[in-house]
A = this chain, B = another copy of it.
Amino acid sequence: MANHVKLAKGNADRPARKRATSYDVAELAGVSQSAVSRVFQAGASASKDMRDRVLSAANKLGYRPNAIARGLITQRSNMVAVVISRQTNLYYPEVLVQLTQRFSEHGIRVLLFTLEHERDIDGVIEQVLQYQVDGVITAAILNDAQLDTVENAGIPVIFYNRTLPERLVNSVRCDQEEGERWLVSQLAAAGHKRFAIVSGPDDSSVSMERTQGALQKLRELSIADVLIVSGDYGYASGRAAFSEIMQRMGGVPDAVIAANDVMAIGCVDEARETNYLRVPEDVSIVGFDGVGPARYAAYDLSTVRQPVGRMSEAAVSMLIERIESPGLSPEKRVFSGDRIIGGSALLADSNS
């Protein structure tokens, strides 16, 4: 009654080691290899009889065209690289799913590259090029030399939520500045005077844009005295930041502008739990992103939501266009964020 280790149910007798090739199928079907190839193509020219014989043979052998070999001859791997930094993924997990889903509708697969920090990108570029991807979507900034490297290889690049202002590149992003300016103007119009900003990590261009956008608008409104403390986009750093603000200001700020929702939530908790403050009566707190937890009843953040669905759709279609027509000129698409008025801040429009 001793059994073999390997148990194969449907096709117990097949050797299973070597994959069937188009030659195997051709032989079994009694046709040429080119014929097999044609049957598995879109605009093929094959008689019904031929088609049937090939397909049944293929089925019997479990044949599947080898996409790698195809890529070699057609010079199209049908793979695109998606480069994300840790942050992108953590705070917008749905972006990846959306990108992958949309690409797959076009017969394109996603090769994923992740960066612990945005600076680690050099090695990644090397890999991306070796794998002959047809295009790249990057949520990490490339410098001039890096971008040159990729473009000289003839690979189109789309920047996701970042851009190189000095250069002709393709990019899709959310208007962080506009969003922050709106938040600031709303807060100011509601009478807030003492502001604090919680910025993100130093190597995050998104955080830079948000912080600068807010600062700029504050300056325009002649609000000069602004305290900036920095966090790492995480909850704990939001709590620590609020604590630091209280200490360095020697009191309660009127409004706190956090570079993302998670830190804003941290600020809210620290204000309530540690300092026994009421939000928004004692202090207004706003975030940015519009992530899920921002809508939880306990926080109900006033924030700006990135239209991630439209952004990822735009990125995919821009990239596919450029894969199909390599000559297309660069395009920058900027989406306004959705303005969300929640209960975490007293805004001018709060009671409208």
Interface residues of A (CB under 8 A from B): 5, 7-11, 14, 16-17, 19, 62, 64-69, 71-72, 77, 79, 82, 84, 86, 89-90, 93-94, 96-97, 100-101, 104, 109-114, 116, 126-127, 129-132, 144-145, 148-149, 151-154, 168, 235, 262, 265, 268-269, 272-273, 292-293, 295-299, 329
Contacts and interface: CB of A to CB of B under 8 A. Distances in A.
A88 to B, nearest CB: 10
Given A71-B68, A112-B112, A11 B152 contact: yes
A109 B86 contact: no
Given A11-B148, A19-B154, A152-B8, A64 B130 contact: yes
Given A62-B152, A89-B97, A235-B296, 18 more contacts: A7-B168, A10-B145, A10-B148, A16-B151, A16-B152, A19-B154, A66-B132, A67-B132, A68-B132, A89-B96, A96-B96, A97-B114, A101-B116, A104-B127, A109-B113, A112-B112, A262-B292, A293-B296
Contacts of A152: 8, 10-11, 14, 16, 62
Contacts of A97: 84, 86, 89-90, 114
A110 B109 contact: no
In the complex this chain forms, how many copies of it are found? 2
A281 to B, nearest CB: 17
Contact of A131 (B62, B67, B292): B67
A144 to B, nearest CB: 6
